[in-house]
Structures are given as C-alpha cells and as structure tokens.
Structure 1
Amino acid sequence: MRMTRALALVAAAALPLVATPAFAADSGGTVTGTVFAPNPVQQLGDQSLTDAKDADYPALAPAYRTVTLTDLDGSGGLSGRYVTVKSETGAPVRVTGGALPAYHRDADQFEQVMGYHWVTKAQHYLQSLGFGSKLRPVNQRRIELRINQYGGDNSFFRENKRDITLGKGGVDDGEDAEVIVHEYGHSVQDGQVPGFGTTLESGAIGEAFSDYLAVTVTSWANGRPTAAPEACVADWDAVSYSPGPVHCLRRLDEDKRYPRDVVGEVHADGEIWSRALWDIRRSLGDTQASTLIVEAQFAFAPDTTFRAAAQATVAAAQRLYGARAAEATRAAFVERGIL
C-alpha cells in the first residue's frame, strides 16, 4: 500500500457509475469542466487559505479554471481511456452535453472532475515525452480512481486492484492536483515494474518519483508557479497539517544526503532521491530529465536499491542523450551520496 501520508486505511466498496450513454462520443470524447489548476495556494500565492470545512468562500474564486476533459468513452460518466472515476461521496457526475455544471469545492462532484482531469493530464504528459510513440508506452491502461468517504487525511494506490483511493480528511485530497498525480505516480511505477516498492529504499524511490511527477506534470500543464515554490508538493492539501509559513507536504529541494539522513521512513527518505531527480531536471531541463528518469524505471527491480536505481538512471541518460546528460545525472546522485 502506497500512501500520501503514513496512515493506514481500508477502503470501502465504491458506488458504481451508471452506464447509460448521455452523449455521442468515442474514446476521443470531450466535455468542459471546472477544476483547480493545480491548487489555490499555488495559483494565488496565498498561504493563509484554509479548508474552512469544505466551504466555497470568496478568496478561492480566482482559483477555479474551466478545462476540457478529454478521452471520455461515451458511457455518460467520468470514464475514459485512462481512468474511471467512482465515488462514495455524492452522486456520480453525469455528462449531459458538452459542458458539466461548474462544480466548486463544496460539491462532492468537484473532486470527481479533478480526479478525471488530472489523471488524464498526467498520462498526456508522459505521452508528450514520447512514451507510447518514440518510446515504449507507460501505464496506458484504464485505472479506477475512487473518491472515498474515509475521514482520515490519506490517499493511496493499491497495486493488487490497480486503483487509486483519495481520502477526504482536512482539505479533501481530490482538491489538490499534486496529490492526485502523486498517487498516479505509484500506478506508473507499478505499470513499469509490477509490485514495485517492496523495501525501504525502493519504497522511498516510489514516494520520491511520485512527488517529482506531481510537480512536473502540474508545471507542464500550467506553467511554473510564480507565487509559490515550485519544489513544494501539495501546497493546498498541506494547509490542514503543515504549520507554515509555507505549506508543503514535502519538498523536492531538501538538502538530505545518503546515508547520513536516512531515518527508515519512506516519505522522509524519499526526499534524498527526489532531490537528485530535481537536480537532474535543473541541469537538463524538464523534457530530457523526465524522459530519462521514467525510461530508467523499466530497468528497476521491485526491491531495487538507491545505488542500483541510480546506476540504471545514469545508463538511461547515456543511452538517450549521451555523455553530457549521463555526467549531469551521475553528478546529481554523487551530490546526494548515492553514487
């Protein structure tokens, strides 16, 4: 079980979506909907925002965006080529024409729209890097995303059922795109290496990559944030548990080194690996860095070590982009004490 925070839960069975077609569409069907892009703290640069018990208060109004949901399958619900949304909270969203109601965060349907949009957007990001065209496909399967009524502040990916569950404690996890994409990152790694993350080090790599993917996808989709730190993960979700003054679930730019800063907890130790990924991105740019980072994961084992995974990543850099990229990648892992 891979979790956003170190809490455990058992997910209840999700309510099924009604399958009556509501509009004529194929796998390329589209409809407009309303989302955060990626979350209010990052969009507005306002660290004083709070959950306020799911209230839709005026300060949040500028954060809503109208987007196009793509790849719908014509079933009438939020089901498409890469994700099917199921909800235990509120009625399932029904597609009735070319536009959904402008749901806001005080409606349970808002999280359903967020989940569908951001999982699909994450898959489009991977495809933009060439996965599925120039490179082998990555996670091009339909997963289930469940909006859970569990009150704990936790979300997770279950590889045995290939689904993501988003919890509702504090700021509902489905309101923050970076939480959604983080969990999708675990699905990505499981799609590349079934059962990935069986040890502390491989589990830490999993948490780190998922944090990295959350930031890179949202920056790719919206442009790099100017009002909040880009390296801060899940700024909006974190207002419920982070003391501030800047709210972050975790950061990609912490100065942690291996083995000095290993504490034996996957989320904390993951900040060693994610800093190396962050430095590769700063050296090579998003496209080359993310491509080689994802490509390297095909060579990982479920129980890979930091060192073995770093060597595979350097090899991917050399294979894809040559000596300069390989050296920059190696230097990032050396700086973290991994190589």
Structure 2
Amino acid sequence: MRQKTLYLFLFWSLVIVLLPSNATLAQRHKTDSYDFRDNLRVNTITNVAEVMYSTDKKVYTGSAEEVARQFLQENKDIFGITKISDLKLLEVIESPGGKHAGFIQIYKGIPVYGSETIVSINDKNQVETVANGCIPIDDKTSTIANITKDDAISNAKLKIKLNKQTLAAEPKVELYIFPDSLYQIHLIWKINFSASEPKGTWEILVDAVSGEVLDYKDVRLYDIGTGKVFKPDPITALQNTSLTDQNNTDYQALQGAYDIVSLPNLNPPSGGLYRLQGSYARSEDLEYPNTTPVTNSTSSFLYNRSQPGFEETNAYYFIDAQRQYVSSLGFSPQWNGYNYIRFDAHGTTADNSWYDPSYQYLIFGDYGIDAAEDQDAVLHEYTHALHDALMVGAFQVGTQEHLLGEGIADYMAVSYRRSMSLFQQDKVFPWDGNGETWYGRTLNASYIYPNYWYWFDYIGGTLWASTMMDLQNYGDMNRDIVHKLLLKSFNYANNSTIPPEHVFYVMKADQAIYGEAHLSSLGKAFYNRGFFNERINPTPSHPSSLLSGNITSSTSWNGIKYVNGNTYIKPGVTVTSYAFLFIGDRKKIVIENNATLIIQGTLTKYFLADIEVQPGGTLMFAKIAIDQDITDSQILSEYQLLGNYPNPFNPATTIKYLLPKESSVGLKIFDLLGREVRAFNINSQPAGFNEITWDGRNEYGEAVSSGIYIYSIKFRATGSVQIVEKSAKLVLTK
C-alpha cells in the first residue's frame, strides 16, 4: 500500500523465522507444506506430486478411463501410486473441450479418505493436468477394526450431544483409511447423518482402533451469516472529513457509519463453531502479532470497531463481494489452488498492509486506523492478489508491472467505492489515510506519461489509476468494461512488461473480448495521458525491431517496431503493419505519393501521433480478418474527435482529433448563450493525429471567464465538398 511495504515484509518474515516455538504456526506450515518443482506441486512431507500442471501432450488411444490409467501408470512413481489397479473409477465427466476421469485410491479393499484423483483429457486425447489425491501407505497398515459400527455411532452421537429424537434417518457408516494432517494413517469409521438438534448434516470420523473421534463437521455446503461493517468507510458514509481514530474507540459520531450486511458463502460450523472462512475468503492468524481469529456458535458476527472481530468481518465482507464481482465478469482466480484468499486482519502493528506473493495471503496493519476498517485498503491489497493470480508466473515486486499494479489496485478500490458514494470520489484511502498517520492518495488529472512515471509516493501508480478512471467516465465505457479489460490484461503481462506494453495488452483484451468495440475511447484516454509517445529505455537494438530510412519494397511489420529515425514509404510500396509501433521523439513515418500504409487491427491504430501523409499517399486503418483477405468494407475511414485535455482546464487546453485523409479544419468555440468566442481555421492538415490548442482567450486576446463552453469542429477532405461536424464541451476553471 505504501513504499515501506517491502521493508516491513522482510522484517516480519524474520520475526516468523525466529519463532519456531509457536506450535500453531508450525503445525499450520507443516500441514500445508508443498514445493513447486517444474510442472509439479509436490507435498514435501510425502514427496508425492499433488498436481501436475502440464504434460508433454502425448496423444493416447482409448476411452477416457483407459487414457487416464495409461498416463498414471507411466507416472506412478511421481504420484506415489503403488498399483494402478488400486484406483477405482468414480466417474467420467464430459465438458466443453474434453473429459475428466475421476478415481479414488483403494487399500486392501478399503477406500482412502480424500484420495480423489482427477485426470483431465482434452479433445485430442492428450492429458492436460492431473490433480492427485493418492498417498503412500505402508503395506503393514492394519485393516482390522477393534471398534464395532454401533460403538462408533454411539461415540459420534455423544461427541456432538445429539438429541436422538431429531435424527432424520439411520446413520450411514463406512470403513475408510484416513491420513491425518501429519499424514499418520488411521483406520476409521466415517459416519454421516442429518439431525435438527444440533442442526446439521454431520460427518464424524471415529478411529476404528481406539474409538477416538478424530474430526466432526457439518457438511452442509454454505451458510449465509450476518455481519456489521463500515460500508464503505466512516468518512465516506457520513460525509464527514473530521472523523478520527480516537485510539480505536467506538465513539458516538461513528454509529451512523455501521451497516448490517449478509455474509454469504460462509463455511458450515466446524466443531460447533462458525468462523469467518468461506468460499472466497478465510480469516487466519498468519503473522505476528498472534491474534486468534474470532469464532461464534451462530453465524452472526456483530462487532464494533473496538473489538478484534470487526476488522475480520469487514475484510471478509469486501473480499467476498469483490470476488463474486470478479466471477460475474468471467474470471476465476486461485491462490495455492484454492478459490479463497487467506487474510490476517491484525497481521502487523505497523501502519501498513500488503499482499505476500510467496505465501499468497493478505496482511492488514493495526497502527493508527486499522487498515481492514477501510474498504479501499482491503480492496487495494486484494487487487494485488488478483494481479498475481491472473498473471502467469510468480509476481515480482519492484518491477514496472508492480508500479502499474499499484495504480490498478488504487483504481479498483476507488471504483468500487464510487458505486456506493461520490463523496471525495478521487480520494484513495479516505479513512485509513485521513491525515493522522498519512494522507492517502488522490487521482490526478494532470499526470502525463512518462513525466510522472516514477516510484516516489507511487506517483506512477496514481497516473495509471487516473487513466483508468478517465476510461470509466467515457460514454461507451463503464466500470464493468474497464475492470474486465484490466483483469484480462493481467493474462498477457509478465514481470518485464513496460507501461506502453500494458496499454497494448488492455487494447488486446478489448479485441479479444469486445471485438475492438472500445478502441476509440481507449486510444483517446491513453493518447491524452502520453502513453503513445514512448521513449523506450533501453531502445531496442536488434535490427528487426528498428525502423528508419527508405522502405522501397512492399512488406509487413510484426512484433514491436521502434521508429528511431524518419522512415519513408516510397512510391508504389504498400506496407501492412501488424506491429506495436513506438515512434521516437521528433521522428516520423512519411507516406509518399502512391505509397500505402495499412494499419491492421493489432491496436496500433491510435499509436500514430507522427505519421505524415504526402499528397497522393494513402493511410488506411483496418481490422483483422481471420482467415480472410482485407476487403474494402473492412477499411475504416472516419473523422474522430478525441476530446480536449485537460478538461476542466486552466489556462489552456488542447483539442485532439484524427483525420483519415488530408483535410481542412475549422474550429469555433461558443459560450452557453451561443456567442462565438474564438475561431480557428486551418486550410490543410495531413492525415493522422492533429490538435489545436486554445489558450482560454477570445478573438481580442482577452482572458474569458470561467464556465462551460461548447466547441464545434468541422472537417472537409481536400478536394471534397462534404463536411463532417462534431462538437463537445469545455470547462474552464479559475
């Protein structure tokens, strides 16, 4: 969240290392021990691969079961399988794109609890992934039960204090092999029954040798709980910037900020107790200081801010809500193979919060205003987790992609809050950053790339967040569209991505999801913020990446091209560009007489601020035609008004527009009474991006008063009588 995050992360990591006597922590790490080795996730206790993420794509023959058994036989040592015949087929599920064969491990005729193994096979009969539940079992493990079924049932009923009169049906009892959290093997009776006192669908595991109840839980899928939260935070909810922490007290002025909400997707109670753990969020004690997460006998978590359970409830609510929203957009992020993210609402006494990409959990600080009380702080860190989950490979801090991620995290937090209130709509962290310990951040309309792309105070991130909010405010865009493009852009990026490349990925996402429906708005926003005038550092040095001099034969451009010198497309030459073009400072592409440049739909269309079309030259914009030739009907030829920037402005603003061909341009500015204030007439401008700057003065050179103005711009192609007219608003502030 703030610059000292990395240092605090390292400090507290050292604290954890120096506390091996913490039994709870040690056991948790031991039961969750795994390592990533090539394409495998390996359990470091059993040394068995629990997941194989990819294979060599060998093509098999036979049914789904036969293919799965062949593959498991070839890799049985990796998966800890003694005999393939010990796997019993459960079912084969068919779905779009392939089949999934599921097995359960059998030991001497007895099923092994939790040993389900899924082999996923695509339509080409290639194994894609394997999720392995098999475990090594000593051949000397006994399968003789000393405790009878009836005795096991009695022990189970006694454990949960069952009212026998409320039993819905006779218990179902089965013998299983059960590996505990330390992979010690037990022979157990698994007992299932439903009852109304205590209410639940109970699964109880009784050791078949000793009679001890090893585990019991209500296995109903999910509950909806109730919680008290700030929605979104006290300052925003009450529209009162004078509110302060007051040493975490629950003082009277804050009471109107509370909201009672549903807590969906909670897990059923375990051991008779509910926890703030569910499908998408799990409150745990992860780092020092050790604060035991709250538990309740009911699913109501109604705390005030002076009680530890409040921050847990607040964080759970907003993480769950955002994860449901992300799912509605079509994304399914996972951490360590699970849909939920773990979080510690009291994970540090420092004034900080962070996402840990190594362990993949969230930490919120308690110094000053507790960070988990502020929706912005919760969703900012959760967005980092989304970034990591949706980007291939391990997320690395300190990269340009990380700085860009800070901006995306700020944007998503503010965007969510704006859906509830527009009070201080550009403020980031209005409660946590209320000025007592720090001042938060503010979206800024004046930041331009690359001038403001630097780490100090996350200025670069603020630039990106402000650009995303520009997009959200455009007429054909909205919060859902921008979020969807950003989440999709994570899939393309890696840790070496530079900002203009991420611009490309956002536009690529629009191509993939919406068929390039929003390129005009995307181009306008990114162009206004300076992202298309990138001075690549370091400049590409490979000859295939550089453009300069004369292009004398027809060709195509692919990949990334850097115009490091004036480039001339000579007469009779046609160039088709599929490339991501960077045009160097004071460099240009010149299309000479009888030469043609076709900009294909790889989204370079709006990157061309420095293209000169000489008389007789042709510049075309075309979308990609999949498996087809480009036809005339696909060529885009339109005048585009890209708006003015900044807006509101003082003292000057620049109106930008795109000409498909050489044209005359007439611009008139009017006040709200329809009186003409200023006029500009340009006899000829070349095709491509052009602009006119208004200094806020009338035709007599006098500064005009603040207010709203209307500008009308007329375009007429050279040699044509047809006029295209467009208009928009200007806002002058003083």
Q: Fold match, TM over 0.5? A: yes
8 A Cα contact 2:3 2:457, kept in partner: no
Q: 225, 242, 253: which one pairs with 1:59?
A: 253
Matched, 1:195 2:388: no
Q: 477, 484, 487: which one pairs with 1:291?
A: 484
What is the SS of the residue equivalent to 1:259? coil
Cα distance between partner residues in 2 of 1:216 and 1:128: 16
What displacement does 1:298 show? Answer: 0.8
Instruction: Count residues in correspondence.
Output: 322
What displacement does 1:114 show? Answer: 0.9
Cα distance between partner residues in 2 of 1:254 and 1:108: 39
Counterpart for residue 410 of structure 2 = 211
Matched, 1:161 2:374: no
What amino acid is aligned across from residue 389 of structure 2 in structure 1?
G
Cα distance between partner residues in 2 of 1:214 and 1:197: 21
Distance 1:210 1:25, change over 3 A: farther
Counterpart for residue 528 of structure 2 = 335
What displacement does 1:25 show? Answer: 6.1
8 A Cα contact 1:25 1:72, kept in partner: no
8 A Cα contact 1:233 1:249, kept in partner: yes
8 A Cα contact 1:39 1:63, kept in partner: yes
Cα distance between partner residues in 1 of 2:516 and 2:341: 37
What amino acid is aligned across from residue 111 of structure 1 in structure 2?
E
Q: 446, 450, 470: which one pairs with 1:259?
A: 450
Matched, 1:48 2:247: no
Counterpart for residue 309 of structure 2 = 109
What is the SS of the residue equivalent to 1:32? strand
Superposition pairs for residues 242-257 of structure 1, below 5 Å? 249-257=440-448
Matched, 1:125 2:325: yes
Matched, 1:28 2:219: no
Q: 4, 21, 32: which one pairs with 1:6?
A: 4
What displacement does 1:99 show? Answer: 1.9
1:35-65 CA-partner distances (Å, limit 9, x unpaired): 0011001111100001111011111000000
* Matched-pair identity in %: 25
The TM-score with structure 1 as length reference comes to 0.86
What displacement does 1:198 show? Answer: 4.5
What displacement does 1:312 show? Answer: 0.8
8 A Cα contact 1:90 1:109, kept in partner: no
1:127-158 CA-partner distances (Å, limit 9, x unpaired): 22232xxxxx2346222101235322100011
What amino acid is aligned across from residue 172 of structure 1 in structure 2?
D
- Structure number with greater CO (CA < 8 Å, separation at least 6) is 1
The structure where helix makes up a greater share of residues is 1
What is the SS of the residue equivalent to 2:508? helix
What displacement does 1:265 show? Answer: 3.4
What displacement does 1:234 show? Answer: 1.2
Cα distance between partner residues in 1 of 2:347 and 2:356: 17
8 A Cα contact 2:347 2:363, kept in partner: no
Matched, 1:37 2:231: yes
Cα distance between partner residues in 2 of 1:145 and 1:332: 35
Distance 1:149 1:201, change over 3 A: closer
What amino acid is aligned across from residue 214 of structure 1 in structure 2?
A
1:284-331 CA-partner distances (Å, limit 9, x unpaired): 011112111211221111221101100110111133224440221122
Counterpart for residue 83 of structure 1 = 281
Counterpart for residue 229 of structure 1 = 424
Unmatched segments (≥5 aa) in structure 2: 17-21, 29-158, 161-197, 201-217, 533-734
Moved more, 67-76 or 185-194: 67-76
Cα distance between partner residues in 1 of 2:383 and 2:328: 16
8 A Cα contact 1:197 1:206, kept in partner: no
Q: 163, 178, 191: which one pairs with 2:376?
A: 178
Counterpart for residue 271 of structure 1 = 462
Matched, 1:312 2:508: no
Which protein has the larger Cα radius of gyration, Structure 1 or Structure 2? 2
Cα distance between partner residues in 1 of 2:219 and 2:484: 32
Counterpart for residue 494 of structure 2 = 301
Counterpart for residue 325 of structure 1 = 518
What is the SS of the residue equivalent to 1:53? coil
Unmatched segments (≥5 aa) in structure 1: 132-136
What amino acid is aligned across from residue 115 of structure 1 in structure 2?
A
Cα distance between partner residues in 2 of 1:83 and 1:149: 15
What amino acid is aligned across from residue 265 of structure 1 in structure 2?
F
Distance 1:27 1:121, change over 3 A: farther
8 A Cα contact 1:159 1:190, kept in partner: yes
What is the SS of the residue equivalent to 1:54? coil
Cα distance between partner residues in 2 of 1:5 and 1:237: 15
1:254-298 CA-partner distances (Å, limit 9, x unpaired): 421111123333722111111111111111011112111211221
Cα distance between partner residues in 2 of 1:103 and 1:169: 19
Cα distance between partner residues in 1 of 2:441 and 2:493: 24
The TM-score with structure 2 as length reference comes to 0.41
Matched, 1:93 2:287: no
Cα distance between partner residues in 2 of 1:198 and 1:172: 24
8 A Cα contact 1:203 1:266, kept in partner: no
